Amino acid sequence: MKVEAMNDCCASPAGNGNDQYDLVVVGAGSAGFSAAITAAGQGAQVALVGNGTIGGTCVNIGCVPSKTLIRAAETVHHANIASTRFDGIESRARMVDWAAQIAQKDALVASLRQTKYADLLPEYNNVAYREGQARLVAGGIDVGGQRLVSDRIIIATGARPALPAIPGLAEVVPLDSTTALSLTELPRSMIVLGGGYVGVELAQTFARVGVAVTLVFRSRLLPEAEPEIGQALAGYLADEGITIVRGVTYDVVRKTDDDGVALAITRNGSPEILTAERILVATGRTPNTEGLGLSEAGVVQTSSGAIVVDDRMRTSKAGVYAVGDVTGKDQFVYMAAYGAKLAAKNALNSNSLRYDNTAMPAVVFTDPQVASVGLTEAQARAAGHPVRTSVLSLDNVPRALAARDTRGLIKLVADGATRKLLGAHILAPEGADSIQTAALAIRCGLSIDDLSEMIFPYLTTVEGLKLAAQTFDRDVKKLSCCAG
């Protein structure tokens, strides 16, 4: 079964001979599939409703396409700086065919969409796929005039890039994270609006393949990260030639005479004009709730349109659940899938499972990578903990010294009384692959003493967690290799 946007010709029967289901799932992305597969595994008859390209954000326009292009740009950059790190090496690289990269990315996306989504549907006889705009109605869901009857519904319709209210922005046809990843020709210059994880990832990627990038944001880089990490990363991006413009207000956007873009800003009370060939907006996302009939059904939403849920993933309407990006919380694909599993089990059983993001790891795929889990220092203090922190620069980590790349730091947050680990925050070239150790430590209630005494493999980035834990009470510069 080869599909792009699945339609009724591809829909599978529910197995019950009518349009009554134990559960209807609206949204055929990662969260929707997670909910449907979980419910099917419990023997439920499920209707899965999609609208457009199957697979949702992550595989089609989010995680998969961005990370493969990030790695391509990273390869170019590392080849160009190899001689500055290692003696006796001479290498150069450049992006000569961006369209070829986009084609390769599209092939990967199509393959994963087929194998991980479309091809899975025939494996579940008790999941019926329906294509069309869904709307909540009395007793179930209406899809293009067809009534799917169920008293248990999960909404997993995701979110899309949001356009901020800046005068003139819409008229210049701005790029967003979706359209930027589909460009077949690179612009000469680009303004990237937004200092969050999407903005910094894309700014660095385009800069590394030859685009002159100006990164503009209102407050500070990665505002949800520890300040030490955002500040250090901003410096590393500037070292790569990215122009960093922070602490601004956006005034107006207009086209220039050469068909480029001009962004008028105010910084420190003074007006400025930034110009580029294109502007990329990465300032947030908005939930996909249009046409669902939420207000008519009595489903409460936030002022931004996100569906309000409790810790069981229940909305304000009995029998209706919501999961993933449409709720506006924890917008990571793995958290969407996790919440969807809980919602499916709660809907079919006794609503006993609670959503818990205490040990949720988060990663920003810049270089160096940003990875975090648990509480920041500010959050820990706000929660009333007697906070202690340690900050370890990567020049104290043998792996970084051997790799001749000491960019970054590790910050641990602990309770000063119990010594329990509350948070871990890593800025390191291989930080993403280290954060799960800290996530397990927090989940299991380990202390900084447990981390200090744990055996770690030498010459790994994750060994930095042990060294950062030891830094609470001693100077690790005075330890020999593997000592302590």
Cα–Cα distance, 439 to 452 (Å, whole number): 16
DSSP 444: T
For residues 484 and 452, what is the distance between their CA atoms, to the nearest angstrom?
A: 8
**Residue 339 annotated as part of some ligand binding site:** no
Is 309 assigned a ligand-binding role in the annotation? no
Angle 354-424-393 from CA coordinates, rounded to 5°: 170
- Tell me: is residue 284 an annotated ligand-binding position: yes
What is the rounded distance in angstroms from the CA atom of residue 423 to the CA atom of residue 52? 39
299 is in an annotated binding site: no
464 is an annotated ligand-binding site residue: no
88 is in an annotated binding site: no
Closest listed residue to residue 283, CA positions, set 219, 373, 340, 338: 219
User: Is 317 known to sit in a ligand binding site?
Assistant: no
What is the rounded distance in angstroms from the CA atom of residue 392 to the CA atom of residue 426? 10
- Residues composing the chain: 484
Q: Do 42 and 19 meet the contact criterion of CB atoms below 8 Å apart?
A: no
Please answer whether residues 286 and 305 qualify as being in contact, where contact means their C-beta atoms are separated by less than 8 angstroms.
yes
Which structure tokens are listed for 175?
A: 């790029």
Q: Where are the beta strands (DSSP E) in 306-368?
A: 320-322, 362-364
* 3-state secondary structure at position 148: strand
- Report how far residue 191's alpha carbon sits from residue 243's, in angstroms, rounded to the nearest whole number: 9
Q: Is 199 annotated as a binding residue?
A: yes
Judge whether 325 is annotated as a binding position: yes
252 assigned to a ligand binding site = no
Of the candidates 211, 171, 210, which has an alpha carbon nearest to the alpha carbon of residue 192? 211
Judge whether 67 is annotated as a binding position.
yes
Annotated binding site for NAD(+): 194-201, 284
Annotated binding site: 67, 194-201, 284, 325
Annotated binding site for FAD: 67, 325
